[in-house]
Amino acid sequence: MKSQRMPTGWTEAEIRELARRHDHMTEEEQVAEIEAAFHSEDTTLMAVPKKLVPKVLALIKRFRQSA
């Protein structure tokens, strides 16, 4: 089995809590969270072809490291 890496700055406890919260969200809460993301002024949601995902993730990583 391949070991998983923690996102930078996250602990296992934080990831488990996030997963627990999402697992227990009602459908209405899930919809509200998605709608909030659509209305966020500093975030854009878009569909990305699967072949480009690694390149997009690398670009986001470089952006975060330079910030």
pLDDT at 38: 85
Domain ranges of the chain: 12-66
| pLDDT score for 49 | 96
Question: Tokens in use for 11?
Answer: 């602990």
The pLDDT, as a whole number, for residue 43 is 82
Per-residue pLDDT, 26:
96
Flag residues of the chain having pLDDT under 50: none
Give per-residue burial for 45-65: e unless 16+ CB within 10 Å, then b: eeeeeeeeeeeeeeeeeeeee
Predicted confidence at residue 1, as pLDDT, reads 61
What's the CA gap between 17 and 3, in Å, rounded?
20
> Looking at residue 16, what is its pLDDT?
93
pTM, full prediction: 0.49
